[in-house]
């Protein structure tokens, strides 16, 4: 996180996960600055990627002419990439268009600084933007169907098995999806009639999910070129510039009485009300924690007695090796022991579910995650202790503006 409180401790320097809580005015100022920083990243995409393409052109043109003559397709391919960049920029502009008022409880006003003085976007933010573009493939394209089948389908099937519609009024079954990304899993669950809330921290994701969920309504109406940033491991030059269309479904096609909401903010800060959810479903999420036990503790607290936690994902800790960030990289074995100590009953467990994450299926380098998948129940016959009761607050959790994007790199 950008704002961390430093704790000096014997044997070395430690960094505390909590942000320094500034005055409300300072918090608001930081929030607004962060908002505009992410908007700038969307706006600067073209300049940034075109510069990469220019570099590739310069490198190619520095080759001996006889070598260049052997490669007549290279410059035309780079020219094609330039067109794709321009096209991606148009979609990115559409995503940030009107997002000034997307949070009900937060206004970002007009930009105070002169936009010409905009600081150049960091490589870090640009990488996050490129990852967000790939997330459209995972969540909202036909090309992402196989990946969704491996990641989202098992979770959805468990929800349907645990809360079948012939035994439950599913509209009264509340499901929370922390780290909801572009919202497809939450959308699918809401489509089945469950009350579903996605929670997301990153403005890159929030702007984008807001765009798909609220402003797209025709199947495959838009095109992105998600793979143009990948210059290595292409079998064919045209693989780099192949289009991906989205959305593969009409996001507005949810049944009229469906209940889908998105809440912005840090999961552990937003969800503090005890015993309020029937189900928490985490997909590729728990390794985003500084301290995964804090997530376990939060999920334990917010589940109703008898409620279930469904998890699918790897343990690619997002803060590992990030300077000045707390990161505790626990094994699944250790997490499981802690869960059981909290009182969770592991009702189902598969330790080897092979999945991908925003995979480029034509790349010569492909990662497979060997995920864990489990259902853990908070027992129904639990006596809530006083401490939990003390912290009860009104439901549903208030929508919050998101915290600053930090080093929560996409997997």
CB of 25 to ligand SAM, least distance (A): 24
11's tokens:
């044997």
Nearest to 173 by CA among 151, 192, 148: 192
Instruction: Pick one of 31, 40, 48, 179: the residue that binds ligand SAM (CB under 6 A).
Output: 179
Stretch that binds ligand SAM, among 110-118, 167-175, 188-196, 279-287 (CB under 6 A): 279-287
CB of 355 to ligand SAM, least distance (A): 9
Cβ closer to ligand SAM: 258 or 411? 411
CB of 400 to ligand SAM, least distance (A): 11
CB of 53 to ligand SAM, least distance (A): 28
Site string for ligand SAM, 255-274 (x = CB under 6 A): -----------xx-------
From CA 5, how far away is CA 16, in angstroms rounded? 5
From CA 27, how far away is CA 193, in angstroms rounded? 37
Which residue's structure tokens are 């997490």? 335
From CA 393, how far away is CA 73, in angstroms rounded? 63
The answer to whether 162 and 375 have CB atoms below 8 angstroms apart is: yes
CB of 203 to ligand SAM, least distance (A): 9
Cβ closer to ligand SAM: 201 or 373? 201
What do you get for the CA distance between the two ends of the chain, in Å?
17
Instruction: Return the SS3 of 18.
Output: coil
Nearest to 275 by CA among 389, 177, 173: 389
Instruction: Pick one of 178, 247, 307, 397: the residue that binds ligand SAM (CB under 6 A).
Output: 178
CB of 145 to ligand SAM, least distance (A): 14
CB of 239 to ligand SAM, least distance (A): 23
Instruction: Return the SS3 of 93.
Output: helix
Site string for ligand SAM, 195-214 (x = CB under 6 A): ----xxxx--x---------
| One-letter-per-residue 3-state SS of 29-61 | HHHHHHHHHHHHHHHHHHHHHHHHHHHHHHHHH
288 binds ligand SAM (CB under 6 A): yes
Cβ closer to ligand SAM: 36 or 357? 357
Cβ closer to ligand SAM: 286 or 308? 286
Tell me the site size for ligand SAM, rule CB under 6 A: 20
138 binds ligand SAM (CB under 6 A): yes
CA separation (Å) from 210 to 228, 261, 293?
24, 11, 30
Q: In b/e form, how buried is each residue of 243-268, taking b as 16+ CB within 10 angstroms?
A: ebbbbbbebeebeeebbbebbbbbbb
Cβ closer to ligand SAM: 220 or 411? 411
Cβ closer to ligand SAM: 84 or 402? 402
254's tokens:
């949810």
279 binds ligand SAM (CB under 6 A): no
187 binds ligand SAM (CB under 6 A): no
CB of 231 to ligand SAM, least distance (A): 24
Residues between 89 and 108 with contacts to ligand SAM, criterion CB under 6 A: none
411 binds ligand SAM (CB under 6 A): yes
277 binds ligand SAM (CB under 6 A): no
Nearest to 336 by CA among 291, 372, 304: 372
404 binds ligand SAM (CB under 6 A): no
Is the omega angle on the peptide bond into residue 247 within 30 degrees of 0, that is, cis?
Answer: yes
The answer to whether 344 and 305 have CB atoms below 8 angstroms apart is: no
Q: How much helix, strand and coil, in percent to the nearest 5, is found in the chain?
A: 45, 20, 40
Classify residue 82 as exposed, middle or buried by CB count within 10 Å of its CB (0-12, 13-18, 19+): middle
CB of 174 to ligand SAM, least distance (A): 17
Instruction: Pick one of 136, 207, 277, 284: the residue that binds ligand SAM (CB under 6 A).
Output: 284
- Which residues contact ligand SAM (rule: CB under 6 A)? 138, 151, 178-181, 199-202, 205, 266-267, 283-285, 288, 408, 410-411
């Amino acid at each position: 996180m950008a704002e961390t409180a430093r704790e000096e401790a014997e044997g070395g320097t430690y960094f505390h996960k909590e942000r320094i809580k500034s005055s409300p005015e300072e918090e608001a100022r930081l929030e607004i600055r962060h908002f505009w920083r992410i908007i700038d990243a969307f706006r600067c995409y073209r300049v940034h990627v075109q510069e990469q393409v220019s570099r590739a052109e310069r490198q190619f043109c520095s080759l001996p002419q006889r070598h260049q003559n052997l490669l007549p397709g290279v410059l035309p391919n780079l020219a094609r990439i330039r067109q794709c960049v321009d096209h991606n920029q148009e979609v990115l502009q559409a995503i940030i268009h009107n997002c000034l008022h997307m949070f009900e409880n937060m206004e970002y006003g007009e930009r105070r600084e002169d936009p010409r003085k905009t600081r150049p976007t960091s490589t870090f933010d640009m990488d996050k933007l490129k990852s967000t573009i790939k997330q459209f493939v995972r969540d909202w394209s036909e090309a992402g169907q196989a990946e969704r089948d491996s990641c989202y389908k098992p979770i959805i099937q468990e929800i349907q098995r645990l809360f079948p519609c012939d035994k439950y009024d599913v509209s009264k079954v509340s499901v929370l999806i922390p780290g909801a990304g572009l919202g497809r899993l939450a959308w699918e669950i809401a489509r089945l009639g469950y009350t579903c809330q996605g929670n997301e921290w990153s403005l890159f994701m929030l702007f984008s999910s807001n765009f798909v969920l609220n402003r797209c309504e025709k199947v495959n109406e838009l095109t992105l070129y998600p793979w143009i940033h990948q210059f290595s491991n292409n079998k064919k030059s045209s693989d780099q510039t192949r289009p991906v269309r989205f959305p593969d479904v009409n996001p507005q096609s949810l049944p009229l009485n469906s209940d889908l909401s998105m809440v912005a903010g840090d999961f552990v800060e937003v969800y503090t009300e005890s015993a309020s959810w029937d189900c928490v479903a985490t997909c590729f999420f728990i390794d985003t924690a500084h301290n995964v036990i804090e997530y376990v503790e939060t999920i334990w607290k917010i589940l109703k007695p008898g409620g279930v936690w469904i998890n699918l994902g790897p343990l690619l800790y997002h803060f590992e090796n990030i300077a000045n960030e707390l990161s505790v990289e626990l094994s699944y074995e250790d997490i499981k022991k802690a869960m059981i100590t909290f009182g969770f009953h592991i009702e189902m467990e598969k330790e080897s579910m092979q999945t991908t994450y925003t995979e480029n299926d034509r790349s010569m380098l492909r990662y497979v995650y060997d995920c864990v998948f489990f259902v853990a129940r908070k027992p129904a016959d639990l006596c809530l202790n006083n401490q939990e009761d003390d912290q009860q607050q009104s439901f549903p959790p208030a929508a919050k503006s998101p915290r600053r994007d930090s080093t929560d790199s996409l997997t």
